[in-house]
């Protein structure tokens, strides 16, 4: 199949990208603003010999994913913020039992039931594990419909490679907007490497496989945690992704997802004034792209983090900068989206040294 260029809604483009990445099983529960993903999967997966289940709850959906991922399939679930809170139990089990799977969160305003407008206030939940225990998930924060398509393939690859759950953190804006996208070629699931650890039934070929996260002996439980830690270190060293636009700048705006699009426009505008401002855009939110910060932090005069939250990623920016330059923050929350003018005004404060 040739590379097709199409105008697609974000949620549908993401769903099609998952199918083309070899995903054959989807388990979900309706919640706005991600409903186009399960709706698309409900007719698309049967076309390619896959299965769609509308689960009775977010808990059931994530546990079906744990079952299907454990059984060796490429599988996914999607939801939005309140639903993803419910899924945390299963994500913790998947991380501990080393079961691959992809979880999409089209983030909406919170806390509680919040609203249905875009937000980035689930950053902590996504990048700190989210459920109980010492674990991390790989987290992508795409900023265009095309990038959502691109990271879906990568998400399934990394989930399988590291046997770990991978989160794609979109937002209501990205899910609902339409943009032209180039779709990738399809991966045939039969062509993927065999997973010798999967629960397929022994089929007379091997001793039983056990997928488990119970370790009553604390020494063994610590060993599991150490094993996961080593895996997370490897991921941190190999899988950081970020975009550095205008790398010769002196000041940097740091933003991901929808906010990064707004910040790119704001940075373009202030550069016309002759200001040396660049954009540092994390694509992986965990592992956080600290190596990209290292490239510029020695000469940077300041970092402005912009988020659709009260300030969550800014903590990681401060850790990456580690006191070597001032770090400023501007955020809107609850479903409010910052405007280009608001960001320009914040950049002006940073560059012109205004009090904060």
Residues contributing to the site for other proteins (CB under 8 A): 25, 27, 51, 53, 55-57, 59-61, 63-73, 75, 89-90, 93, 97, 199-204, 208-214
Quick one: 51 or 268, whose CB is closer to other proteins?
51
Contact 109, 331 (CB under 8 A): no
Omega prior to 287 cis, within 30 of 0: yes
Quick one: 64 or 296, whose CB is closer to other proteins?
64
Quick one: 3 or 206, whose CB is closer to other proteins?
206
Type and span of the H or E element at 76: strand 75-79
Task: Work out how close the CB of 21 gets to other proteins at its nearest, in angstroms, rounded to a whole number.
Answer: 16
For residue 146, what are the contacts with CB-CB under 8 A and spacing of at least 6? 13, 179, 180, 181, 182
Task: Work out how close the CB of 61 gets to other proteins at its nearest, in angstroms, rounded to a whole number.
Answer: 8
Rg (alpha carbons) of the chain, rounded to whole number: 21
Quick one: 192 or 265, whose CB is closer to other proteins?
192
Task: Work out how close the CB of 134 gets to other proteins at its nearest, in angstroms, rounded to a whole number.
Answer: 18
Task: Work out how close the CB of 138 gets to other proteins at its nearest, in angstroms, rounded to a whole number.
Answer: 21
Task: Work out how close the CB of 30 gets to other proteins at its nearest, in angstroms, rounded to a whole number.
Answer: 15
CB atoms within 10 A of CB 239: 17
The 8-class DSSP code of residue 299 comes to: T
Please, where are the H alpha helices in 21-142?
A: 36-47, 58-70, 81-97, 123-127
Distance CA 39, CA 125 (A): 26
Q: How are beta strands 302-307 and 251-254 bridged, if at all?
A: parallel
Task: Work out how close the CB of 225 gets to other proteins at its nearest, in angstroms, rounded to a whole number.
Answer: 17
Task: Work out how close the CB of 209 gets to other proteins at its nearest, in angstroms, rounded to a whole number.
Answer: 5
| Chain position carrying tokens 């690859």 | 157
Distance CA 325, CA 318 (A): 9
Quick one: 75 or 343, whose CB is closer to other proteins?
75
Type and span of the H or E element at 347: helix 340-351
Tokens of 185: 């070629």
Tokens of 93: 């089990």
Q: How are beta strands 242-245 and 277-282 bridged, if at all?
A: antiparallel
Task: Work out how close the CB of 242 gets to other proteins at its nearest, in angstroms, rounded to a whole number.
Answer: 34
């Amino acid at each position: 199949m040739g590379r097709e260029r199409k105008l697609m809604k974000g949620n549908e483009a993401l769903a099609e990208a998952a199918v083309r990445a070899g995903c054959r099983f989807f388990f979900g529960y309706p919640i706005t603003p991600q409903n186009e993903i399960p709706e698309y999967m409900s007719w698309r997966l049967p076309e390619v010999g896959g299965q769609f289940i509308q689960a009775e709850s977010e808990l059931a959906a994530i546990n079906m994913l744990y079952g299907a991922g454990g059984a060796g399939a490429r599988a996914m679930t999607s939801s939005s913020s309140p639903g993803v809170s419910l899924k945390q139990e299963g994500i913790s089990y998947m991380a501990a039992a080393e079961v691959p799977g992809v979880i999409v969160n089209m983030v909406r305003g919170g806390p509680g039931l919040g609203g249905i407008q875009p937000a980035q206030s689930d950053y902590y939940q996504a990048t700190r594990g989210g459920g109980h225990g010492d674990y991390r998930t790989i987290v992508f924060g795409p900023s265009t419909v095309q990038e959502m398509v691109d990271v879906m393939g990568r998400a399934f690859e990394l989930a399988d490679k590291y046997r770990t759950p991978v989160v794609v953190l979109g937002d209501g804006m990205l899910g609902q907007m339409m943009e032209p996208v180039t779709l990738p070629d399809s991966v045939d699931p039969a062509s993927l490497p065999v997973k010798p650890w999967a629960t397929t039934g022994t089929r007379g070929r091997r001793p039983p496989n056990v997928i488990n996260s119970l370790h009553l002996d604390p020494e063994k439980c610590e060993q599991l945690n150490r094993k996961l830690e080593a895996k997370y270190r490897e991921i941190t060293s190999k899988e950081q992704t970020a975009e550095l636009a205008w790398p010769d700048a002196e000041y940097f705006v740091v933003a991901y997802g929808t906010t990064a699009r707004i910040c790119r426009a704001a940075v373009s505008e202030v550069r016309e004034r002759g200001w040396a401002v660049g954009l540092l855009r994390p694509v992986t939110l965990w592992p956080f792209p600290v190596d990209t910060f290292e490239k510029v932090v020695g000469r940077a005069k300041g970092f402005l983090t912009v988020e659709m939250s009260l300030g969550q990623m800014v903590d990681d920016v401060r850790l990456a900068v580690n006191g070597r330059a001032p770090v400023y923050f501007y955020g809107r929350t609850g479903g409010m989206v910052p405007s280009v003018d608001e960001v320009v005004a914040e950049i002006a404060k940073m560059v012109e040294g205004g009090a904060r």
